[in-house]
Amino acid sequence: MAARTPLYDRHVAAGARMTEFGGYDMPLQYTSIGDEHRAVRRRAGLFDLSHMGEVRITGEDALPTVQRLVANDAARLVVGAALYGVMCNESGGIVDDVVVYRDPGGYMFVVNAACREKDVAWMREHLDGAGLDDLSDSLALLAVQGPEAMGIVQSLTSTPVEAIPPFHFVDGQVAGMRAAISRTGYTGEDGFELYVDSENAPAVWDALVEVGTAKGMLLCGLGARDTLRLEAGLRLYGQDMDDATDPYSCGLGWTVKLDKPDFIGRDALAELDPRNPPCSFIGLRMPGRVIARHGHTVLADARVVGEVTSGTFSFTLGYGIATASVAPDVSREAPLFVDVRGVAVAAEQTPLPFYRRPKGNG
Amino acid sequence: MPDLSTFKFATTHEWVRVDGDSATIGITDHAQSQLGDVIFVELPEVGARLEAGAKFGAIESVKAASDLYAPVGGTVSEVNPTLSDSPEVVNNDPYGAGWMLRLRDVGEGSVELLDEGAYAALVGD
């Protein structure tokens, strides 16, 4: 049976349609994915992300261990800062994509729910004397995203949240409960992710709902989370990448720092040409409302050149969008087609991200 | 809820309302609810001939694509022009403004059709 987050009862009471994701029974949508998506772009949305895993690396030897585990450079992280990166295996394939926070006592990795067991086992194998705490069950994660997110969170805390730079966090209180207030998200909007003790999650959720509803905030499920992240050009592990994908081939070469101390997978990645990796990761604009989906074949000159990794309908732009992994010899100008259930549909190559939030939107 | 006593339901979740030798076809409230936000409805050309049980198009939501099947056979006399620009009417009003097809020259044959109560029992409403 799928696990439940501390907010499961709230979701059911709100009438959510639930779905299994990463081993958890999670809200897919409360009302409609389109309405929830637009609420985040225009006002605000509240997400329960408590399925995500949180794993801390602690002790005096924490930094060398973190440096071995991630391809990005954790040495530049000051206390209160975070970075996005990938953990690679020896072949350079991606074990998981993670956000790493530095706190006074160590480093906290936020990992994908479906990867948690695999990641914890992998991290334990490479501890180099550091300690490991899997906090996933004791921490809940709530995200408030959108132009109104700052006002909503600020009204429940004395911490000046506007002063928290992007990809930083501050320990404080929200609705009277201990919380790490992080200026991060997965939607392309400004917003906050709040790490709170599991037993306090319902109280914080209720307070956010009360304040947020007055500002047009909607409860948002994983459906809107997926359409929002894809518009923003953000990757999804298991779809856009997996253990066999190197970071360059999914457009995450910017997170690989070959000149930092050695890390797992470095030798394999050093063999690759970052500007000419085994695959190119591209954006596609579909005609009208056609939706390309994960696994659909990409064609050029009637030749199979790759596969769609993620695809959806962009509620903001009003047309279908997709990302695809294609052969490196496919030129930027090449006319491409996607095999959508037996029909070759012309797709236009377009830069990522599909959507950037307008200046001043939060 | 509209009066569904004149509607019949296929186990593939289309509805049909037959009036003499013409018929109107759409998908059920249960189907639209399961699909979620409808993005695209692919419909046949006017004049196309459909056998009962034949695939007549497809419906695509954010979540999934599904084929659509004709509960009865006939000739397509009209397709709902609203659906190309506002497919969300299938979500908002599946038994009314969200209709998909009208058929003329409807034949005798049909797929297995349920009445309102039997269909409700099938989908567990």
Predicted local confidence at residue A360, as pLDDT: 66
- Does B88 sit within 8 Å of A291, measured CB to CB? no
Predicted local confidence at residue A346, as pLDDT: 98
Q: Chain A residue with minimal CA distance to B40? A: A289
* Ramachandran assignment for A191, one of left (phi > 0), alpha (psi -120 to 50 degrees), beta (any other): left
pLDDT at A362 over 60: no
pLDDT digits (tens, 9 = 90+) for B48-77: 999 999 999 999 999 999 999 999 999 999
Model confidence at A361, in pLDDT bands (50, 70, 90)? Answer: low
Residue boundaries of the structural domains of chain A: 8-52+137-231, 53-134
CB of B39 within 8 Å of any CB in chain A? Answer: yes
**C-beta of residue B10 within 8 angstroms of C-beta of residue B71:** yes
Question: Which of B58, B62, B91 minimises the CB distance to A313?
Answer: B62
pLDDT at A58 over 60: yes
Residue boundaries of the structural domains of chain B: 8-107
| Rounded Cα distance, A73 and A107, in Å | 13
Q: Chain B residue with minimal CA distance to A318? A: B39
> Which residues on A lie below 8 Å from B63 (Cβ)?
28, 223
CB of B88 within 8 Å of any CB in chain A? Answer: yes
pLDDT digits (tens, 9 = 90+) for B73-122: 999 999 999 999 999 999 999 999 999 999 999 988 889 999 999 999 99
What b-and-e string marks burial along A212-235, b requiring 16 or more CB atoms within 10 Å of the CB? Answer: beeeebbbbbbbbbbbbbbbbbbb
pLDDT digits (tens, 9 = 90+) for A289-320: 999 999 999 999 989 999 999 999 999 999 99
Query: Whole-model pTM above 0.90?
Result: yes
> Which residues on B lie below 8 Å from A28 (Cβ)?
36, 63
> What is the average pLDDT across A47-60?
97
| Rounded Cα distance, B71 and B23, in Å | 10
How many of the other CB atoms lie within 10 Å of CB of A7? 24
Predicted local confidence at residue A302, as pLDDT: 87
- How far apart are the CA of B83 and the nearest CA of chain A, in angstroms? 11
DSSP state, residue A267? H
Its CATH class, for the domain covering A53-134, is alpha beta
- Does A288 sit within 8 Å of B37, measured CB to CB? no
A–B: how many Cβ contacts below 8 A?
A: 38
Predicted local confidence at residue A220, as pLDDT: 98
- How far apart are the CA of B40 and the nearest CA of chain A, in angstroms? 6
> Which residues on A lie below 8 Å from B62 (Cβ)?
33-34, 223, 227, 291, 312-313
Q: Tell me which fold the domain A8-52+137-231 belongs to.
A: Gyrase A; domain 2 (3.30.1360)
Q: Tell me which fold the domain B8-107 belongs to.
A: OB fold (Dihydrolipoamide Acetyltransferase, E2P) (2.40.50)
- Does A33 sit within 8 Å of B62, measured CB to CB? yes
